[in-house]
Amino acid sequence: MLKIENLHVRVAGRDILKGLSLDVDAGEVHAIMGPNGAGKSTLGHVLAGREGYEIVEGSVTYLGRDLLALEPEERAAEGVFLAFQYPVEIAGVNNTYFLRAALNAQRRHRGEPELDSMQFLKLVRQTLSVLHLKDELLHRGVNEGFSGGEKKRNEIFQLAVLEPKLAILDETDSGLDIDALKAVAHGVNTLRSPERAFLVITHYQRLLDYIRPDVVHVLADGRIVESGGPELALELEAHGYEWIRQRIEPGA
């Protein structure tokens, strides 16, 4: 589904990704862990097509197409979802209204009929019930005054409504409470399917207590320096990132 080869990315004149390669198949959940500043969020932003990232070298193939050649809206319509793609608060714009606009924009792109408000409401109700979410976020402004946990629940809700093929979740480095982590994990576990892949970016191992990834990667200094099974996350938790650094730079 996703093949990243030797990706080099520069941000504000600095090399941030330095030869990153990664292969993700449909149906898989990959966790990307790594120290602060390693380039994890940069990777997510580059895949989503955010502005300000200069691709210096390398390629990204998504479902057989050159992902980097697509506009952000095309990527979204083709099924790439980055949670926190809409981190902004939009005061006064109703969250549900905003999500319907996003979904219909994607459907138009794909040549599918738009959902009217009744159809959308039905979809929203089903989604809330499947995810065990309350409807309290629906009537608020987009991200307006949302706590960290509420933003995360809202992301999972957006993900479930938009039904992406490649979902990228970037866990903020700041602490989420256990209930929010569990809500995110429940969402990911519920939405796992043979047609859908997840990239779960996380600084801490905690989230992986609730989501069992197929593959765990360590991103350090702009590259994937180690990949393994779920046990790699536990080793990292036990030994810290310094352990990885010493393994990749003997003598450091």
Nearer to ligand ADP, 37 or 240 (CB): 37
For Mg ion, give the closer residue by CB, 78 or 155.
155
- Please, what is the minimum distance in Å from the beta carbon of residue 33 to ligand ADP? 9
Report the C-alpha gap between 126 and 204 in whole angstroms. 32
Burial of 129 (0-12, 13-18, 19+ CB in 10 A): exposed
| Phi, psi (deg, nearest 5) at residue 12 | 50, 45
- Give least dist CB 223 to Mg ion, A: 16
Determine which helix (DSSP H) or strand (DSSP E) holds 191, and give its type and residue range.
Answer: helix 178-191
Binding site for ligand ADP (CB under 6 A): 11-12, 16, 34, 36-42, 52
Q: Shortest Cβ distance from residue 156 to ligand ADP (Å)? A: 20
Q: Report, in Å, the least distance between residue 36 CB and Mg ion.
A: 5
Per partner kind, with CB cut-offs from 5 to 8 A, the member of Mg ion, ligand ADP, none near residue 87 is none
Backbone angles phi, psi at 112, to 5 degrees: -100, 150
Work out whether 36 is an interface residue with Mg ion (CB under 5 A): yes
* 164-183 positions binding Mg ion, by CB under 5 A: 173
| Residue 89 CB burial class (10 angstroms; 0-12, 13-18, ≥19) | middle
Whether 34 contacts 199, CB under 8 Å: no
Based on CB atoms, which residue is closest to Mg ion, 40 or 151?
A: 40
Instruction: List contacts with Mg ion (CB under 5 A).
Output: 36, 40-41, 173
